[in-house]
Amino acid sequence: MLRLIKYLKPYTFLILLVIALLFVQANADLALPDYMSDIVNVGIQQSGVANAIPVAVRKTEMDKLTLFMSAADKTRALSDYTLVDQNSPDYATRVTLYPGLAQEAVYVLNKIDSAETTWLNPVMGKAFLAVSGIQQVLANPSQAAGMASGMGFDLSKLPPGTDIFAILAKLPAAQLTQMSSTFAAKFAALGDKMIIQAAVTPVKAEYAALGIDTGKLSSNYILRIGLLMLLVTLLSGACTITVGFLAARTAAGLARDLRRYVFQRVESFSSTEFDKFSTASLITRSTNDITQIQMVVIMMMRMVFYAPIIGVGGVIRALAKSTSMWWIIALAVIVLLGLILTVFTIALPKFKIIQSLIDRLNLVTRENLSGMMVIRAFNMQTFEETRFDAANKNLTSTNLFVNRVMVIMMPMMMMIMNGVTLLIIWVGAHQVAQSSMQVGDMIAFMQYAIQIVFSFLMLAMMFIILPRAAVSGDRIADVLETQPSIRDPQAPQQFGEPFKGTVEFRNVSFRYPGAEEDVLHSINFTAQPGQTTALIGTTGSGKSTIVSLIPRFYDVTGGAVYLDGTDIREVTQHDLRTKIGYIPQKGMLFSGTIESNLLYGDEHASDTELKLAADISQATEFISAKPEGMQTEVAQGGMNVSGGQKQRLAIARALVKKAPVYIFDDSFSALDFKTDAALRQSLKEHIGSSTMIIVTQRIATIKNAEQIIVLDEGKIVGKGSHKELMQDCEVYRGIALSQLSKEELA
227, amino acid identity = L
Higher-pLDDT residue of 40 and 189 is 40
Nearest to 718 by CA among 523, 504, 520: 523
- Is residue 611 within 8 A of residue 686, CB to CB? The reply is no
- Is residue 275 within 8 A of residue 298, CB to CB? The reply is no
Please tell me whether the peptide bond between 498 and the residue prior to it is cis, using omega within 30 degrees of 0.
yes
Domain ranges of the chain: 2-33+223-480, 52-213, 503-745
Q: What is the pLDDT of residue 227?
A: 94
Q: What is the pLDDT of residue 155?
A: 55
Mean pLDDT across the stretch 425-446? 80
By the 10 Å C-beta count (0-12 exposed, 13-18 middle, 19+ buried), 497 is classed as exposed
CA–CA separation, 463 and 601 (whole Å): 50
Is domain 503-745 in CATH 3.40.605.10, yes or no?
A: no
Tell whether the model's pLDDT for residue 465 goes beyond 50: yes
Mean pLDDT across the stretch 410-437? 81
Q: 665 has which bridge partners?
A: 695
Mean pLDDT across the stretch 129-153? 63
Q: What is the pLDDT of residue 148?
A: 47
Domain spanning 2-33+223-480, CATH class: mainly alpha
HEC letters along 636-689: HHHCCCCHHHHHHHHHHHHHHCCCCEEEEECCCCCCCHHHHHHHHHHHHHHCCC
Please give the helix or strand (H or E) that residue 715 lies within, else none: strand 715-720
CA distances in angstroms from 489 to 206, 495, 573, 574, listed in the order given: 93, 14, 9, 12
Q: What is the pLDDT of residues 97-129, one digit of tens each?
A: 889 888 889 999 999 998 899 899 888 988 888
Higher-pLDDT residue of 112 and 174 is 112
**Highest-scoring range by mean pLDDT, 266-270, 495-499, 513-517, 575-579:** 575-579
Tell whether the model's pLDDT for residue 147 goes beyond 60: no
Tell whether the model's pLDDT for residue 233 goes beyond 90: yes
Q: What is the pLDDT of residue 528?
A: 92
Q: Is the pTM of this model over 0.85?
A: no
Q: What is the pLDDT of residue 228?
A: 93
Mean pLDDT across the stretch 80-100? 89
Tell whether the model's pLDDT for residue 477 goes beyond 60: yes
Nearest to 58 by CA among 89, 32, 83: 83
By the 10 Å C-beta count (0-12 exposed, 13-18 middle, 19+ buried), 159 is classed as exposed
Please tell me the least confidently modeled range out of 104-118, 300-314, 556-570. Answer: 300-314
Mean pLDDT across the stretch 224-235? 93
Q: Helices 12-38 and 215-268 sit at what angle, rounded to 10 degrees?
A: 160
Q: How confident is the model at residue 156 (pLDDT cuts 50, 70, 90)?
A: low
CA distances in angstroms from 484 to 271, 274, 329, 560, listed in the order given: 9, 10, 54, 19
CA–CA separation, 519 and 543 (whole Å): 10
Tell whether the model's pLDDT for residue 163 goes beyond 70: no
CA–CA separation, 672 and 695 (whole Å): 17
* 3-state percent breakdown (helix, strand, coil) of the chain, nearest 5: 65, 10, 25
Q: What is the pLDDT of residues 485-543, one digit of tens each?
A: 888 888 889 888 888 889 999 999 999 887 888 899 999 999 999 999 999 988 888 88
Give the full edge-to-edge strand order of the sheet including 580-583: 580-583, 661-665, 691-695, 532-537, 707-712, 715-720
Higher-pLDDT residue of 149 and 234 is 234
Please give the helix or strand (H or E) that residue 57 lies within, else none: strand 56-58
Q: What is the pLDDT of residues 671-720, one digit of tens each?
A: 888 888 888 889 888 888 899 999 988 888 888 889 999 999 899 999 99
CA–CA separation, 386 and 152 (whole Å): 101
Q: What is the pLDDT of residue 504?
A: 94
Q: How confident is the model at residue 152 (pLDDT cuts 50, 70, 90)?
A: low
Q: What is the pLDDT of residue 14?
A: 92
Q: What is the pLDDT of residue 189?
A: 63
CA–CA separation, 742 and 583 (whole Å): 31
Q: How confident is the model at residue 556 (pLDDT cuts 50, 70, 90)?
A: very high
Non-local CB neighbours of 256 within 8 Å, separated by 6+ positions: none
Q: What is the pLDDT of residue 359?
A: 76
CA–CA separation, 553 and 561 (whole Å): 13
Mean pLDDT across the stretch 16-35? 91
